[in-house]
Structure 1
Amino acid sequence: MRVLVVEDDEGIAQGLRAHLRQHGGVVDLAGSIEAGWAALQAEPFDLVLLDLGLPDGDGSELLQRLRRHGGAGLPDAHTPVLIMTARDQVAARIAALDMGADDYVAKPFDSDELAARMRAVRRRAAGRAQPLLCIGDVEIDIATRRVQRAGEPVELSAREFSVLLALAEVRPRVLSRPQLEALLYAWDGGPDSNTLEVHVHRLRRKLGDTVIRTLRGVGYFVPAEA
């Protein structure tokens, strides 16, 4: 999951980055509304964690801009947004949700609860109620980041799991190499030239050759009938 954290408190932002990376997330940081909007224009994100108290205005301005002006070559207007703020009044929560936020957590929050809420938001965005994805005899538990094949556990690295999940969530759509690399690497940690191919090769060795297919010159996909 590639996450944009829009938060001007450096300590909170870095803490979130460290925690989400432990859970396999790829995290980019922005400290203002304008920096957040520039980031959304530069890269696709699976989810935005948005603080309301930002130095150049109220974070809800970024939320409204995304919902009103996304699409048509701009950021995806349907990108899930989870508000995080010290404003815990009921009116503030209602206002954020009515503006198009997908969920709301009040600071201080438990980091594991935040991670669970993020997973729930992603499931709803994908139209799924369950945290499990099945591809033939391969079962992916998104909540625990565990994979089984024919009932037996399969050990995957964090990035192998991220490649598999990214392709499984959009099956049978093809994801290009740049699209997958954008999901795997933050701006400050670009890949080596053949890293993605190495991850795909290892996944095929562990899960079978039919789970991930290559569309030559285009990218990778998980077939609908896998």
Structure 2
Amino acid sequence: MTLTVEPLVGSTRVVVLAPDGRVVRDQAAEFHRFGISIVLRQDILAALTEVVHDPTAMLVVSADIPCQELRDVLDVAVATCGSSVLLGLTATTDTGAVGAALRAGVRSTVDLPLTAERLARTFRALPAKAASTGPIMIGNLTVDAARHRIDWAGAPVEASPREFAVMLQLAQNHPHMVALDELAAGYQGSSVDPYASVRVVINHLRSRIAQVTGARGTAIIETVRGVGYRLAG
């Protein structure tokens, strides 16, 4: 299977705030092919100036910024940016940083380094701004984006940032299925097999749920054979 995505309609300008240019993998021409214009800035004031001058520009903030400074940067970024702010995830990003970002008003996350296809898929999957930010409750399951928390009948279910992102995507689409291609989009451009990575995440989530519920995780996260996954209930 091959991940494919159509170019975005119109032109989307993206300002990336990061310590260095290694957070962007593709060349400018590849981003342009997907309807994306990339501007890389290492200074917060320079990045904010970009989004002030262009209120339609999206802002990606790398989680490589030191933790305390990152919280301050995200607060200012969300208050300043007229469009969407995303948190760029690295291999060392912890759950606490993602939870703080969501509470600050960040609309989504995207894995770094950035590729044109990964970024385009992330933009297409962004939740509507008008959508409720409250917890999603499906039977005994609660997925709370603001607190970055999964509960089963009040008991917390531990999850890594990637596992939480997958569970949130499943909850937001319940009772419908989420295609494997959509779940795998976050791994596009990385060195790992995106489909195998999704299956590993699903297996981890099922194991974590089973530890809390005592039931088989497959009874909570159902497989639509060869197509995708959905939450039961």
Q: TM-score, normalised by structure 1?
A: 0.52
1:146 shift after superposition = 1.4
Query: % of aligned pairs identical?
Result: 26
1:119 is the counterpart of 2:127: no
Q: Quote the Cα distance in structure 2 between the aligned partners of 1:88 and 1:5.
A: 9
Where 2:220 maps in the other structure, the secondary structure is: coil
Q: Quote the Cα distance in structure 2 between the aligned partners of 1:124 and 1:219.
A: 20
Q: Quote the Cα distance in structure 1 between the aligned partners of 2:227 and 2:140.
A: 26
Quick check: 2:133–2:146 contact (8 Å CA) kept in 1?
Answer: no
Alignment of 1:179-218 (within 5 A): 179-183=182-186, 185-191=187-193, 194-207=196-209, 208-218=217-227
Where 2:105 maps in the other structure, the secondary structure is: helix
Q: Quote the Cα distance in structure 1 between the aligned partners of 2:175 and 2:231.
A: 5
Residue of structure 2 equivalent to 1:219: 228
1:178 is the counterpart of 2:181: yes
Q: Quote the Cα distance in structure 2 between the aligned partners of 1:102 and 1:9.
A: 11
* One-letter amino acid of the structure 2 residue matched with residue 36 of structure 1: F
Summarize the Cα distance change of 1:143–1:12 in structure 2 as closer, same or farther, 3 Å threshold.
farther
Where 2:198 maps in the other structure, the secondary structure is: helix
* One-letter amino acid of the structure 1 residue matched with residue 230 of structure 2: F
Gaps of 5+ in 2: 1-11, 42-46, 62-69, 78-100, 109-122, 210-216
* One-letter amino acid of the structure 1 residue matched with residue 19 of structure 2: G
* One-letter amino acid of the structure 2 residue matched with residue 119 of structure 1: R
Residue of structure 2 equivalent to 1:60: none
Gaps of 5+ in 1: 18-27, 42-47, 54-83
Residue of structure 2 equivalent to 1:11: 19
1:12 shift after superposition = 6.0
Residue of structure 2 equivalent to 1:36: 31
1:143 shift after superposition = 2.4
Cα shift readout 1:117-160 (whole Å, capped 9, x = no counterpart):
32399986064222422222111121232111111111112222
Q: Quote the Cα distance in structure 2 between the aligned partners of 1:199 and 1:127.
A: 29
* One-letter amino acid of the structure 1 residue matched with residue 205 of structure 2: L
Summarize the Cα distance change of 1:52–1:195 in structure 2 as closer, same or farther, 3 Å threshold.
closer
Residue of structure 2 equivalent to 1:66: none
* One-letter amino acid of the structure 1 residue matched with residue 74 of structure 2: D
Alignment of 1:76-91 (within 5 A): 85-87=48-50
Greater mean alpha carbon deviation, residues 120-129 or residues 210-219? 120-129
Cα shift readout 1:161-210 (whole Å, capped 9, x = no counterpart):
12111211222332222321112x25134337633223212322333433
Summarize the Cα distance change of 1:132–1:29 in structure 2 as closer, same or farther, 3 Å threshold.
farther
Q: Quote the Cα distance in structure 2 between the aligned partners of 1:49 and 1:112.
A: 22
Where 1:125 maps in the other structure, the secondary structure is: coil
Q: TM-score, normalised by structure 2?
A: 0.51
* One-letter amino acid of the structure 1 residue matched with residue 135 of structure 2: L
Match of 1:147 among 122, 134, 150: 150
* One-letter amino acid of the structure 2 residue matched with residue 11 of structure 1: P
The aligned length equals: 161
Summarize the Cα distance change of 1:190–1:155 in structure 2 as closer, same or farther, 3 Å threshold.
same
- Give the root-mean-square deviation of aligned CA atoms: 4.2
Alignment of 1:163-174 (within 5 A): 163-174=166-177
1:219 shift after superposition = 1.2
